[in-house]
Amino acid sequence: MTEPRRDRLDQPVEPGRVRLPRFDPESFGRWSESIARYMGTAQFIVWMTLVIAAWFGWNTLAPANLRFDPYTFTFLTLILSLQASYAAPLILLAQNRQTDRDRLAMEEDRRRAAMQKADTEYLAREIASLRIALGEVATRDFLRSELARLADELDEAAHRREKRARTDWEEDRKDWDEDRR
């Protein structure tokens, strides 16, 4: 059974529950990163220094009836503490998001490195098999030497045949000459 939607007007709201506003965590994360990024700039430090110097100057040099934060600067301390209490979680949120991005990037790098290693190993095996196959394939020089050897063998065989034919012819001639006599 599915849970009823809470934004429907035809269904009663559970008593005693406070409905908090909904927000997009991704938008909030981007916003917190932009604040953390700005707080880490020299521009922020300069503006913060100018505001604090103006605060000190006004509450020290202005006429007593116009000063809003007397010498111990309690209100300034409260404001700076409030800023720090909001800045710290925003900076931590931005750091966590950056850590998540770094982790994803590292996982992607590992995946790509593993794929590249597998591709490299495959190519190395292919090159090795090609080298082995080329060792078994007749090269141009090998074919030339074999053809030259075969030509020599054929020349020798032809020479032997000629010699044998000559000897046979001479024997036949002797036999013929003897028969004639």
Q: pLDDT digit of tens for each residue in the chain (181 aa)?
A: 455 555 677 877 677 777 778 888 899 889 989 999 999 899 999 999 999 999 999 999 999 999 999 888 999 999 999 999 999 999 999 999 999 999 999 999 999 999 999 999 999 999 999 888 877 777 788 889 989 999 999 999 999 989 888 888 888 788 787 777 6
Residue 55, CA atoms < 13 Å, CB-side half-sphere: 17
Rounded to two decimals, the pTM is 0.52
Q: What is the 3-class SS of the chain, one letter each residue?
A: CCCCCCCCCCCCCCCCCCCCCCCCHHHHHHHHHHHHHHHCCHHHHHHHHHHHHHHHHHHHHCCHHHCCCCCCCHHHHHHHHHHHHHHHHHHHHHHHHHHHHHHHHHHHHHHHHHHHHHHHHHHHHHHHHHHHHHHHCCCHHHHHHHHHHHHHHHHHHHHHHHHHHHHHHHHHHHHHHHHHC
Cα 94–Cα 97–Cα 103 angle in degrees, nearest 5: 140
